[in-house]
């Protein structure tokens, strides 16, 4: 009987941990998406100074997300998002509007894919 209780408790811990990770990921992805949306609006209006300020905030937020996601998520997806952010920041420095808008869209999509892979289900838990 003790074995069954231990198994049930372990299952609850694993499911709760997975749900907590998903909530944390959702919050970070939402914040990153909002920042990218603001950056996109500023780039479309060619407000480069405001866009650079927003990029600074995005860099800090991305550092926090990257350091927490890298140990626990699929490295390929995290690396893909990291590469996309790197291109966004570099294109912003170069003020290449069209390329930057395209890369912002790619980054937003990559974040969405990353979040979708963390949805709690049996495949992700075990």
- Summarised one tens digit per residue, pLDDT across range 39-77 is 999 999 999 999 999 999 999 999 999 998 888 888 899
> What's the pLDDT score for residue 71?
87
Domain of 74, CATH number, reads: 1.20.120
The mean pLDDT of 102-122, rounded to a whole number, is 87
Residue 93 belongs to some domain of the structure: yes
In-domain check, residue 83: yes
pLDDT band at 94 (very low <50, low <70, confident <90, very high): very high
Residues 84/33, Cβ–Cβ less than 8 Å? no
pLDDT score at 123 = 62
Q: Is residue 15 part of a domain?
A: no
Residue 18 lies in a domain: no
Within-domain flag for 17: no
In this structure, are residues 35 and 61 in contact, taking their beta carbons and an 8 Å threshold?
A: yes
Domain containing 49 equals 25-119
Name the H helices within the chain. 2-44, 48-69, 75-94, 97-117, 122-125
**pTM of the shown model:** 0.84
pLDDT at 18: 79
Q: How confident is the model at residue 117 (pLDDT cuts 50, 70, 90)?
A: confident
For the cut 70, the answer to whether the pLDDT of residue 126 exceeds it is no
| CA–CA separation, 83 and 88 (whole Å) | 9
Would 90 be classed as within a structural domain?
Answer: yes
Please, are residues 77 and 110 in contact by the beta-carbon 8 Å criterion? yes
In a domain, 9, yes or no: no
- Domain tally for the chain? 1
In a domain, 1, yes or no: no
Per-residue pLDDT band for 122 (boundaries 50, 70, 90) equals low
């Amino acid at each position: 009987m003790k074995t069954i209780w231990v198994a049930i408790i372990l299952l609850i811990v694993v499911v709760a941990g997975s749900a907590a990770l998903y909530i944390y990921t959702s919050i970070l992805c939402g914040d990153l998406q909002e920042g990218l949306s603001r950056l996109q609006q500023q780039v479309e209006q060619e407000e480069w100074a405001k866009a650079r300020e927003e990029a600074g905030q995005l860099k800090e937020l991305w550092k926090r997300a990257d350091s927490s996601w890298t140990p626990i998520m699929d490295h390929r997806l995290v690396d893909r998002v990291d590469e996309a952010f790197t291109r966004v920041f570099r294109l912003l420095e170069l003020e290449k509007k069209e390329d930057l808008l395209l890369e912002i869209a790619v980054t937003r999509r990559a974040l969405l894919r990353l979040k979708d892979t963390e949805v709690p289900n049996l495949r992700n838990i075990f």
